[in-house]
Amino acid sequence: MGDDEILRADARANRDRILDMARDALAADPLASLNSIAKAAGVGAGTLYRHFPSRESLVLGVYRKEIDTLVALAPTLLSKQPPLKAFRTWCDRFAQSLKMKYGVADIVHAAQSEQDVQETYTPMLGAVRQLMRACEVSGEIRPGTDPEDFLVFIGLLWRIPPTPAGEARVRRILALAFRGLGAKQ
């Protein structure tokens, strides 16, 4: 491995560490300073700003990484669990990812371009479609529900505060969504 490849790998590792720390910090405090995020990631402020020149770009970076993780999770879960369990696990992980978005949703929505929306929404829809189709084929949910309708419905969960009462509400809403699909409890 040459010096350039090592440097690129190091830069990627720094970027990933910044995104992971930012996700946790923003979920705990949407107003977390970029300097505190850099410190938690073990990098200098200059490194953070080199990767993310603004708060908006950092928030969008975290959001995109969460979407990429969720999209990749669907086939992984389906390869290891029965379809309905995989779908429920995926929805639980989706709900967990919304904790960060709750506090910074205005930034995400304001900073996203139409291209950003399509680059995140289309793969998410594909993941939901894959999970739902597997459940339909296995007979664990009724066939015929539009995956986009389901994604729009659960997409509203980001509006629920990440408090104990809010988390209980999220669980009830997901249970309602699965009942609506005809899933067995």
Work out the end-to-end distance of the chain between its first and last CA atoms, rounded to an integer number of angstroms. 52
Q: Is the dihedral of CA 44, 45, 48, 51 positive or negative?
A: negative
Hey, what domains does the chain have and what are their CATH numbers? 1-53 (1.10.10), 54-184 (1.10.357.10)
CA distance 146 to 69: 23
C-alpha triplet 148, 106, 49: angle, nearest 5°: 110
In Å, what is the CA distance from 167 to each residue of 52, 70, 170?
Answer: 31, 19, 5
Contacts 24+ apart (CB under 8 A), 44-51: 47/14, 47/18, 48/18, 51/11, 51/14, 51/15, 51/18
Mind listing the pLDDT tens digit of every residue in the chain (185 residues)?
A: 555 566 588 888 999 999 999 988 988 888 899 999 999 999 999 999 999 999 889 988 998 999 999 999 999 999 999 999 999 999 999 998 877 666 776 777 666 777 877 788 999 999 999 999 999 999 999 999 999 999 999 988 888 888 899 999 999 999 999 999 999 76
- Residue 77 CB neighbours (<10 A): 22
Please report, for the chain, how many H helices and E strands are present, in that order.
8, 0
